[in-house]
Amino acid sequence: MDKHRNSNQEKTKKDEQLEQFKVYDDNQPMTTNQGLRVSEDEHSLKAGARGPTLMEDFHFREKMTHFDHERIPERVVHARGFGAHGYFQVYESLKEYTRAKFLQDPSVKTPVFVRFSTVAGSRGSADTVRDVRGFATKFYTEEGNYDLVGNNMPVFFVQDAMKFPDFIHAVKPQPHNEIPQAQSAHDTFWDFVANNTESVHMVMWAMSDRAIPRSFRMMEGFGVHTFRFVNERGEAHFVKFHWKPVLGIHSLVWDEAQKLGGKDPDYNRRDLWDAIEAGNYPEFELGIQMIKEEEEFNFDFDILDPTKIWPEELIPVRIVGKMTLNRNTDNFFAETEQIAFHPGHVVPGIDFTNDPLLQGRLFSYTDTQLSRLGGPNFHEIPINRPIAPVHNNQRDGMHRMTINPGPVSYHKNAMANNSPFPVPAEQGGYEHYTEKVEGRKIRQRSDSFKDHYSQASMFWNSMSDVEKQHLVSAFQFELSKVKSKEIRQNIVDTFANVDGELARRISEGIGTIPPQKSGSASTKTSPALSMMNTKKSPMTRKVAVLAGNGYRDEELSAVLQQLKEAGVIAEVVSPKLGAITSDAVSRLEVQHSTLGADSVLFDAVLVAGGRQSVDELKMDPKVMDFVKEAYQHFKPIGALGEGVELLPTATAPGIVVLQPDETMQQFGQRLVDSIAAHRHWSRTF
């Protein structure tokens, strides 16, 4: 243990000075920071097992407050992020379901700001680590700001906000040596998973390709929690929110993600910035799932459990609008870094449920902003200001910018004609849904939250063979970094409850005893969970065009034009920067040299034809590595004429070679189709 590690080393005066502040927690009863012994640390205090979290829960508030203030000044979680401006338009009025005005008029463009992020790493970590991605949207509506603060995965690791600090402590760098950065591949994270099985479903998502997105523009977003829509008649529906990328859902492969961390740690944020600058505006359609109040208990899962999805086959996603990101920031710090989200920033017609993770977040987010942004006036920072006018009796505090003339700062008053005054609901005032709440004060979780395995099994059952192999490989990689064999064994035994085959395949690579269990906790499937069923589009795909002097101009020019018409971005890669000359004395500007560019920075490769060009490329050993690596990452590869000589093979899936009886139009279309497919996984099988 750490307290024995330096026992034989000679202590300096500084060591002795520090020793008095060390507290060893081995085999000690848990207490609050006031020394009060704690009887339970798993559940927040609620009004009944499925009821709301109570504000009087001093243990939860102390634990969460301390957690919220553990980092100064960067965010404790979601520290590394990147954002952009845009607008949202609803397709059709949702007045039947919600009072929210921004969801009623299709002609209105509601301004938005979106911040994408990773969860575990610091601001200095890489974009392409295996991690959950944050997907937070601030709608600047005429009724006030509405924040939809979610992730690119629809579930989470814990069911109760009381457990959130524990999860983050476990996944963050280990406190004794601050290692590893931005990775879950270490002992404390997997020890947490094995001992907190509510995390099992989310771990399946985190080990899937969803955790290494190709682009922020090509990943889904989810509100995670169950919210409420409330209409003007006071009628409510339970609702979940989805963001569906118009370009489809696409990911990196693990080897590619690791290499990108070194080649370009800003890969995802650069991709977003470049796309917007080029006018290729990212688009996401907003989808909603709705359940009537009387249908709350009609399912074999609890709709308030944040570790559960609502399967789309049972509760279809209705597409109701579209968000377009069309403007980059003017200043990263002033906008992306200082923006303050909070799931409690709502507008009339959107309300909360008793999801215990959501209930805790409603406290935590404001508390966090107080530390990060220097006080209670963070709403006055320009990026956070609502477009709706602000009038209340709040005054002073650090960084106050509003100047409120006059002596009155209280309610009720006569000196200012009782202004500002409350507004009834029929005039736009916010009113909470009048849900009946009753129950004994108790630290407990509802029995309906106790199923930790069936949806994890459904996720596994829904994966293609390729996705299953990626899942197994991710588990094996992560667990190979875990030093404790006991923890590795515990994980294998835990995931045997999900699926026996999954656990056995994990066990094969990490030196543990294979489980005896067979079968799965569920036989259900949900096709929407597989990324193989996503949209396929060539739009904004980046193709590396490998060419040297003497490339065959007539062929290459025709293909480049066809790629451009399909929305594909082609960039020339050659041994040297500058310009190259074709066989017809045409010239192409080289955007990348092989010294500074690698195949991982592109979605596909096209090798130009021409004897001189190919011979020149052959003289650069990096060219052969470039093509080979793209092939190993299952990427589309095209070749014109003599360019085929640089390919590992001319016949594998995804390889497009110009045929003798083929027109350039036909070749170009086959190449575009190959690029749209994203990866050609059948090379593996």
| Catalytic residue ranges | 78, 151
Query: Cα 653–657–659 angle (5° rounding)?
Result: 125
Which residue intervals of 463-525 are DSSP H helices? 465-480, 485-495, 500-508
Q: In degrees to the nearest 10, what's the CA dihedral of 123, 125, 128, 131?
A: -80
Q: How far, rounded to the nearest angstrom, does the alpha carbon of residue 23 sit from its chain's CA centroid?
A: 36
> How many CA atoms, within 13 angstroms, populate the side-chain half-sphere of residue 29?
8
618-643: b or e for each residue (b if 16 or more CB lie within 10 Å)? eebeebeebbebbbebbbbbbbbbbb
DSSP for residue 448: G
> How many CA atoms, within 13 angstroms, populate the side-chain half-sphere of residue 127?
21
What CA–CA distances, in Å, run from 586 to 443, 554, 575, 579, 594? 75, 10, 18, 10, 21
Task: Reduce the secondary structure of 311-323 to three states and give it as a string.
Answer: CCCCCCCEEEEEE
> How many CA atoms, within 13 angstroms, populate the side-chain half-sphere of residue 221?
26
Collapsing DSSP to helix, strand or coil, 49 comes out as coil
Q: Do residues 488 and 512 lie in contact, with contact meaning Cβ atoms separated by under 8 Å?
A: yes
Instruction: Name beta bridge partners: 84.
Output: 114, 328
Closest listed residue to residue 639, CA positions, set 616, 615, 657, 625 = 657
Greatest CA span in the chain, whole angstroms?
Answer: 90
DSSP-derived secondary structure for 361-384: HHHHHHHHHHHHTTSTTGGGSGGG
Task: Reduce the secondary structure of 553-567 to three states and give it as a string.
Answer: HHHHHHHHHHHHHCC
Helix 164-171 × helix 187-195 angle, to 10°? 150
Residues with Cβ within 8 Å of 444's Cβ and at least 6 positions away in sequence, in order, are 43, 46, 49
Q: Do residues 137 and 323 lie in contact, with contact meaning Cβ atoms separated by under 8 Å?
A: yes
Kindly report whether the peptide bond that precedes residue 73 is cis, defined as omega within 30 degrees of 0.
yes
* Distance, CA of 492 to CA of 489 (rounded, Å): 5
Collapsing DSSP to helix, strand or coil, 494 comes out as helix
* Distance, CA of 627 to CA of 646 (rounded, Å): 7
Residues with Cβ within 8 Å of 1's Cβ and at least 6 positions away in sequence, in order, are 26
What is the token pair recorded at 463?
């994966």
What CA–CA distances, in Å, run from 509 to 82, 100, 480, 626, 633? 36, 52, 8, 29, 22
Kindly report whether the peptide bond that precedes residue 412 is cis, defined as omega within 30 degrees of 0.
yes
Residues with Cβ within 8 Å of 528's Cβ and at least 6 positions away in sequence, in order, are 311, 312, 313, 317, 462
Q: Do residues 285 and 137 lie in contact, with contact meaning Cβ atoms separated by under 8 Å?
A: no
